[in-house]
C-alpha cells in the first residue's frame, strides 16, 4: 500500500521492532515519537497517512490526548496499541473515533491487517467527504440556476 506511518511508542526496542515489521510489509515509516507532544509536532511536520499510537506514554500527554489533538488539528487517523486496556481507557478511546486497536505484544499478521484496513477506511472516508462537499455545493447553487 505504501502508506506513510508515524509510530508513537516510548519503548525504543518496541518502536524499532514495529518499524521493521512495517517496512517489511511495504509501509513507509516517516518517523518515531516517544511522547505525546512530540507526536503532535511530528504529525504536523510529516503529515503521515496514519498514526500507530501507544496509549501509555511518558510525559504530560498520553496517547489518547495526543490522538484527539492530532485528529482535531490535522484529521490524521489513529490506530491505538497497548498492553493494558481497562474499561475507562476504552471509554476514552471511543470518543476519539479510532481506526483500530492492537494488543501488545504486536503480532505481525494483526498489525498488517489492522493498518491496511485503517488506511483503506480512511481513503473511503476522504472520498465520501469530498463527494458530500460536491453535492452540498451543487445543492446550494441550485437556487441560483433556477433564478437564472
Number of separate domains in the chain: 1
Q: Tell me, what's the pLDDT at 35?
A: 96
CATH number of 59's domain: 3.40.50.2300
Q: Kindly report, residue by residue over 62-108, the tens digit of the pLDDT.
A: 999 999 999 999 999 999 998 877 888 888 888 888 998 998 888 88
Q: Tell me, what's the pLDDT at 14?
A: 94
Reference 21, options 112, 113, 118, 114; nearest CA is: 112
Which one-letter DSSP state was computed for residue 58?
A: B
Q: Tell me, what's the pLDDT at 97?
A: 87
Q: Kindly report, residue by residue over 27-40, the tens digit of the pLDDT.
A: 999 999 999 999 99
pTM check: above 0.75: yes
Measured over the CA atoms of residue 98, residue 63, residue 67 and residue 108, the dihedral's sign is negative
User: In terms of residue numbers, what domain contains 9?
Assistant: 4-147
Amino acid at each position: 500500500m505504501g502508506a506513510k506511518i508515524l509510530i508513537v511508542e516510548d519503548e525504543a526496542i518496541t518502536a524499532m521492532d514495529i518499524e521493521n515489521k512495517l517496512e517489511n510489509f511495504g509501509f513507509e515509516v516517516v518517523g518515531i515519537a516517544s511522547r505525546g507532544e512530540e507526536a503532535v509536532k511530528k504529525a504536523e511536520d510529516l503529515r503521515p497517512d496514519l498514526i500507530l499510537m501507544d496509549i501509555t506514554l511518558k510525559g504530560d500527554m498520553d496517547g489518547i490526548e495526543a490522538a484527539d489533538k492530532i485528529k482535531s488539528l490535522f484529521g490524521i487517523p489513529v490506530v491505538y496499541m497497548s498492553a493494558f486496556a481497562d474499561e475507562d481507557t476504552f471509554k476514552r478511546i471511543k470518543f476519539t473515533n479510532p481506526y483500530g486497536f492492537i494488543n501488545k505484544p504486536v503480532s505481525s499478521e494483526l498489525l498488517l491487517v489492522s493498518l491496511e484496513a485503517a488506511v483503506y477506511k480512511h481513503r473511503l472516508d476522504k472520498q465520501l467527504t469530498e463527494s458530500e462537499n460536491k453535492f452540498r455545493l451543487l445543492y446550494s447553487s441550485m437556487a441560483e440556476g433556477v433564478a437564472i
